[in-house]
Structure 1
């Protein structure tokens, strides 16, 4: 059983993005349900089903450290047992010779389980049309 209980879906989502920023795969997986049917799809990537494949996908993404990522809610739908968050992720990525932000639309689905709210689906895809308004920076990371 996970050691952290998330009392709301917003608590779980905040912890998810903090874990991505820290690059801590254990912390990322702490947010996920232990159910064998969890699903994670990264931008332009395959579908990962189950805790082991989901963990392996995050290990590959975070192998060089955390992501410089922010997430803004576009829409939230919830009821007492399920919450669906559609978010716009802004990720600092390296693009030679300058740095830029990549934008990703993600859907995060949380279910209320016996041990609190847990992530059961993260499905992300490129957010076409957002890249023109991005500021430039001096740090490097890659798209998840």
Structure 2
């Protein structure tokens, strides 16, 4: 079993590399983390439906250029099997502009193990509804944990 523990830790390394590349606004680094297949898909927090690697690159580059962000994971749920890991994460998207407003986002990442490495196959991000965001923030402030 320890072999699998390391295997799934590597998926977390890919997720952390994604967060770092987004914070740097480095679209080339972001794209190296995606599976090398045209069935890759992304639904961004802004609502764009991006399909295929070229579409994902163009859409994410446009979003990163228009509104660079830092992503902070607040609550992470992990579902894993031998070749797939799914992360369901409540995230704070903090704009690079100090005058900007942070947003709470629910994001699901589907990662697959490809040629010895974990790669993103699908990303689905949705803004947290205002009522849920308020409840989430209140629980975080009171130390109850975000989703209890």
TM-score (norm 2): 0.76
Map of 1:41 onto structure 2: 43
More helix by share: 2
Shift, 1:65, TM fit? 6.8
Partner of 1:13: 15
Q: Which runs of 5+ in 1 are unaligned?
A: 1-5, 135-144
Structure exhibiting the larger radius of gyration computed from Cα positions: 2
Question: Paired residue for 2:144?
Answer: none
Among candidates 130, 135, 138, match of residue 133 of structure 2:
130
Counterpart of 1:60? 62
Compute the displacement of 1:130 (Å): 1.4
Residue 24 of structure 2, aligned match among 22, 25, 28: 22
Normalised TM-score (structure 1): 0.78
Which structure 1 residue ranges, 4+ long, deviate > 4 Å from structure 2?
none
Structure 1 residues 49 and 102: alpha-carbon distance in aligned structure 2, compared to 1, 3 A threshold: same
Unaligned runs of 5+ in 2: 1-7, 139-148
Q: Which has the higher contact order (CA 8 A, sep 6+)?
A: 1
